[in-house]
């Protein structure tokens, strides 16, 4: 199997570069990539130290490392790009054509995609996080009037991370409510949720995956049995269908995907 | 002021494309960009509908919209790229040179950067989120033996979102402990934290920003007074310095930046 040492190099957090790098490299499943994220390379000295390491590595491995970079400063970028590396410039590649299209020069200041937020944005995010924490797991249902969305589903179907993600990433007020045994005796909407039908979004999950998750902590419990998991999943889906609640199957989705899907499908307005 | 209608188009969540788009466009502060994220464009039909809309818009505005795309499928990409748009291909731009460098063809399957996680990764994330929730705001300090990091700081300095972000993004077990009035009477480390000194990471904040945050909810309280905020910030920093606790000023940083900084500075090993 081909192996390639790979570095993600950025003057900031490197989160964007890292995500794009993973996305690109996932297109080459037959190669084993050893990926390291090197954030905050924001001085000439750090760049020079780093390129020395990269050059040594290239010589040792007799192979140039792959470098995916988002470096705004021209001098820092040049130091790395001139090293003994295969350089993929995720940032500057697009700056030239953007300058031509917009007919103005770029500011060449360090990117703000994960940067300074204004106070309104900061507050929006904090409020949303606090709301998600306060209303987690069916607590404080009297706060639902302020919710943008109320995520419902069986226990361990992924409600909490989904709501935290919606709050952190988009500033969405996301409460969550577990559909537990008493709620699942019939397909009627629980009383606490009835007034908020238009804010509900359901999660469902493959019953075998649910069982796997529950058994990891509650092995042997009825709660973690195949029968219970199958019944609960079938019954939650029946409740969603009876009430016309939109829902998503979380089994093969990451939290990012579930969050982006709910935002999209429920036409929620992001606040950050 | 120049205005440009801008679309981020992706076959998945579009989160990576959106972050890179914002980062690139932040280099042109004199242009007013109206940015819309259009995720899950994953069928030829959706692409055709979308390009019709884009073409209409180009005609109405007498200006081509900017399009930043991560579209893996060649046919879908071609439909959008052939529209009356300025097309920035954040994905395919790098696939050709990668194919040449690796000397293999790419799989052309829809990216996995925010995609399917295996069960171990799913569990790691869930466990980390549960840990952050359980140990929020100084609760359950007896769990600190399992923590990767214990984030400390004055009330409202950003501990909770930081820990949730560390858990969601990196699978880090992050507890947080508020340094409150009794802890701030001297510069000694609170007893509950003493055994975990090597896991501590401090947050500090500009006292005026702290006051602004506290006043938003507790206007008039001593808690939100300039004097209290100045004292608490000075005293928390004195505690950090006395104990040699690394710390970061959160005033001008986003949660992503604070999280990435702590991961980097504390040399934490990410689990996802």
* Res B110: pLDDT: 59
Q: Would the pLDDT of A112 be above 70?
A: no
* Mean pLDDT confidence for B132-150: 95
Helices (H), chain A: 15-25, 44-61, 74-81, 92-102, 119-134, 159-170, 207-218, 226-243, 255-265
Is the model's pLDDT at B111 over the cut of 80? no
The nearest alpha carbon in chain A to B28 belongs to: A106
A164/B160 CB distance under 8 A = no
Dist CA A123 CA A121 (whole Å)? 5
CATH number at residue B152: 3.40.50.300
Looking at the fold, whether B34 and B98 belong to one and the same domain comes out as yes
How far is CA A256 from each of CA A207, A216, A240, B114, rounded to the nearest angstrom? 21, 23, 22, 6
Q: What is the CATH number of the domain that holds A34?
A: 3.40.50
B113/A22 Cβ within 8 A: yes
Q: Is the pLDDT of residue B113 over 80?
A: no
Same domain, A179 and A224: yes
With cut-offs at 50, 70 and 90, classify the pLDDT of residue A114: very low
Asked if the structure places residue B113 within a domain, the reply is no
B109 occurs within a structural domain: no
Residues of B in contact with A126 (CB under 8 A): 158, 161, 213
* Contacts A86 to B, Cβ<8 Å: 101
User: A112 in a domain, yes or no?
Assistant: no
Same structural domain for residues B43 and B148? no
- Residue A156 vs residues A229, B35, B124, B134: alpha-carbon distances, Å: 10, 35, 14, 16
Contacts of A168 in chain B (CB under 8 A): 161, 164-165, 168, 255
Q: Which of B113, B131, B166, B259 to mutate to test the interface with A (most CBs of A within 10 A)?
A: B113
By C-alpha distance, which of B75, B104, B105, B110 is closest to B91?
B110
**In which band, very low, low, confident or very high, does the pLDDT at B116 lie, cut at 50, 70 and 90?**
very low
Nearest CB to B101: which of A40, A86, A130? A86
Same domain flag for B138 and B96: no
Predicted TM-score (pTM) of this structure: 0.87
* DSSP-derived 3-state class of residue B28: coil
- Best residue of A205, A254, A261, A267 to probe chain B, by most B CBs closer than 10 Å: A254
pLDDT at residue number A76: 96
Helix (H) or strand (E) segment spanning residue B163: helix B159-170
Q: Which of B4, B95, B254 sits opposite A117 (nearest CB)?
A: B254
- Our measurement of the distance from residue A39's CA atom to the centroid of its chain's CA atoms, rounded to an integer in Å, reads 19
Same domain, B81 and B176: no
Q: Looking at the domain assignment, is residue A272 inside a domain?
A: no
In a domain, A270, yes or no: no
- Of A58, A76, A102, which marks where a domain is finished? A102
Cα B88 from Cα B168, distance rounded (Å): 30
Residues 6+ apart with CB under 8 A from B239: B179, B183, B184, B187, B188, B189, B202, B245
Our CA-based measurement puts residue B5 at a distance from the nearest CA of chain A, in whole angstroms, of 12
Residue A21 structural domain: 2-102
Average pLDDT of the residues in A41-54: 97
Predicted pLDDT at A271? 87
**Number of neighbouring beta carbons within 10 Å of residue B176:** 27
Flag whether pLDDT at A109 surpasses 80: no
Q: How confident is the model at residue B114 (pLDDT cuts 50, 70, 90)?
A: very low
Q: How many CB pairs lie under 8 A apart between chains A and B?
A: 210
Residue A63 banded pLDDT, cuts 50, 70, 90: very high
Of A69, A102, A135, which marks where a domain is finished?
A102
pLDDT value at position B109? 65
In DSSP notation, B50-84 reads HHHHHHHHHHHHTSPPEEEEE--SHHHHHHHHTSS
Look at A14 and B260 and tell me if their CB atoms are within 8 Å.
Answer: yes
* Pair (A215, A139) in one structural domain: yes
Interval A179-189 mean pLDDT:
94
What separation in angstroms does the CA of A183 have from each of A82, A144, A154, A157? 63, 18, 10, 16
- A55 in the same domain as A178: no
Of the candidates A187, A174, A232, A186, the one whose C-alpha atom is nearest the C-alpha of residue A208 is A232
Number of domains forming the structure of chain A: 2
Q: Is B82 part of a structural domain of the chain?
A: yes
Q: Are residues B188 and B220 in the same domain?
A: yes
Query: Is there a contact between A25 and A81 (Cβ–Cβ < 8 Å)?
Result: no
pLDDT for A234 beyond 80: yes
Same-domain status, B222 and B148: yes
Checking if the pLDDT of A249 tops 80, the result is yes
The reply to whether A88 and A194 lie within a common domain is no
End position of a domain, from candidates B68, B102, B136: B102
> Do residue A143 and residue A256 come from a single domain?
yes
**β-bridge mates for residue B8, sequence order:** B37, B68
Residue B20 within a domain: yes
Selected for mutation to probe chain B from A15, A33, A87, A113 (highest B CB count within 10 Å) is A113
Distance separating alpha carbons of residues A57 and A63, to the nearest angstrom: 8
Mean pLDDT of B203-221: 92
Tokens of B144: 């600190």
CB contact under 8 A, A133 and B133: yes
Domain-embedded: residue A48: yes
Give the pair of three-digit tokens for residue B209. Answer: 């920003």
Do residue B159 and residue B255 come from a single domain?
yes
Any idea how long chain A is? 272
Supply the ipTM of this predicted assembly: 0.85
Q: Residue A56 has what pLDDT?
A: 97
Q: What is the mean pLDDT of residues B27-37?
A: 93
């Amino acid at each position: 199997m081909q192996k390639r040492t790979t570095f993600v190099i950025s003057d900031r957090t490197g989160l964007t570069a890292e995500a794009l790098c993973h996305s690109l490299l996932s297109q080459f499943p037959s190669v084993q990539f050893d990926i390291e994220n090197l954030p905050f390379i924001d001085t000439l000295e750090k760049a020079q130290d780093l390129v020395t390491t990269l050059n040594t590595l290239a010589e040792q491995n007799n192979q140039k490392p792959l470098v995916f970079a988002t470096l705004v400063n021209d001098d820092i970028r040049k130091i790395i790009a001139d090293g003994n590396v295969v350089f993929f410039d995720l940032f500057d590649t697009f700056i030239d054509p953007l300058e031509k299209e917009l007919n103005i020069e770029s500011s060449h200041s360090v990117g703000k995609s994960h940067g300074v937020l204004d106070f309104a944005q900061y507050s929006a995010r904090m409020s949303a996080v606090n709301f998600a924490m306060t209303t987690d797991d069916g607590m404080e249902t009297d706060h639902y009037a302020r919710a943008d969305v109320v995520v419902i589903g069986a226990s361990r179907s992924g409600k909490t991370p989904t709501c935290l993600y919606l709050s952190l990433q988009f500033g969405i007020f996301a409460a969550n409510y577990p559909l537990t045994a008493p709620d699942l005796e019939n397909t009627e909407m629980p009383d606490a949720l009835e007034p908020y039908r238009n804010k509900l979004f359901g999660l469902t999950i493959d019953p075998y995956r649910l069982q796997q998750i529950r058994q990891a902590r509650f092995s042997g419990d009825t709660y973690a049995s195949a029968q219970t998991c199958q019944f609960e999943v079938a019954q939650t889906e029946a409740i969603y269908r009876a009430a016309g609640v939109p829902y998503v199957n979380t089994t093969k989705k990451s939290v990012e995907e579930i969050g982006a899907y709910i935002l999209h499908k429920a036409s929620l307005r992001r606040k950050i």
